[in-house]
Amino acid sequence: MSAYLVLQGGPVLEGIPLGAPGTTTGEIVFNTGMTGYQEILSDPSYAGQIVLFTYPLIGNYGINADDFESDRVQAQGLVVQEACTVPSNWRTSQTLHQFLLEKGITAIQGIDTRSLAKRIREAGVTMAAITHGPPEDALRALQQAAAYDDSDFVLSVTTKAPYAWGYAGKEPIESDASGYRAKIVVLDFGLKHNILRRFAALGIRSVVLPATSSAEEVLAWNPDGVLLSPGPGDPARLGFAVETVRELLGKRPLFGICLGNQLLCHALGGQTYKLRFGHRGSNHPVKDLIDQTVTITSQNHGYAVHADSLAGTGAEITQLNLNDETVEGIRSTAYQASSIQYHPEAAPGPWDSRKYFVQFLEQISKN
């Protein structure tokens, strides 16, 4: 039995079925990480996308109950060269195939993923479809699918109701916060759980609000600071969020991560653009222009900030990507606001950049 991966405009690639039978569509993107497939599949920033892994063997340590970054699979589909059928890890509860089948995720293996990744690097990301039926099913699905850039995925991944997160994880929102060093509001544009875990480890209680929350609703919680979370899609489509961030400027210390960085830059007067194939992996070198250090970072984004657009906004570029010199961090001292384009919480990835959580806590403490 065959499965097919069809890219918009070609080619049609034949492979082996993986996961649940069916047909799925999404923007195909590649991730160069060697590990972390469970976290990546459950990362809300991958909503609307089919993830292709360049590492040739995926699933070799199975699936466990602890490493999810949200409450569901967020990616539309998965493409691998080979899915491991006999995982080896003491925490393993099921194989990758069993997990995908259980969650209804259509995937494919037996694809030359490195060759396809090179093609995406040259031609750019595009819409694609995976089917366990005939290739005509994928072609029809592609014709009917909405373009990735025309969709507002943030509204589908954000929390529907406020909740709190503390030392023990998710907790009742009315719980006593007296045992914490500080309280922040997190605007959930596509939040990963490990961000909340990192804050809790520093003694910070997080109150998570829907992406559509107004500045007035944020300030009603009387937070010591506000986090602008990561998330999927084009930041230029999120005018409601940009307006909220603009109204919060100067009211509380702000810290943005990934999409949160882009929204902060828009609020300050900057602009963003779409990268040809994005940054997705766990080995991106970033230079901090303030302390002159270089960290290896975990990244997952398809858009970047126009450096020139920040001129005259009062924003200072603080970090640069050493691969392509794109903007990786900014700060506005006048508004007590800073942000970074990558993921300091990792999951997956190195821990080099956890210091930026500490810097945000220090900013809160000064306030």
Catalytic residues: 258, 343, 345
Q: How far apart are CA 4 and CA 12, in angstroms?
A: 7
Q: How far apart are CA 320 and CA 339, in angstroms?
A: 12
Taking CA 221 as the corner, what is the angle to CA 217 and CA 222, rounded to the nearest 5 degrees? 115
Taking CA 303 as the corner, what is the angle to CA 302 and CA 304, rounded to the nearest 5 degrees? 135
Q: Which two tokens stand for residue 275?
A: 């990268």
The one-letter amino acid at 275: L
Residues sharing a CB contact under 8 Å with residue 366, sequence separation 6 or more, in sequence order:
none
DSSP lists the bridge partners of residue 288 as 319
- Which H or E run contains 25? strand 23-31
Q: How far apart are CA 64 and CA 42, in angstroms?
A: 13
Burial 142-169 (b: 16+ CB within 10 A, else e): beebeebbebebbeebbbeebbbbbeee
DSSP lists the bridge partners of residue 367 as none
Contact 59, 87 (CB under 8 A): yes
The one-letter amino acid at 293: T
Q: How far apart are CA 364 and CA 367, in angstroms?
A: 5
Residues sharing a CB contact under 8 Å with residue 144, sequence separation 6 or more, in sequence order:
none
Q: Which two tokens stand for residue 84?
A: 């491991």
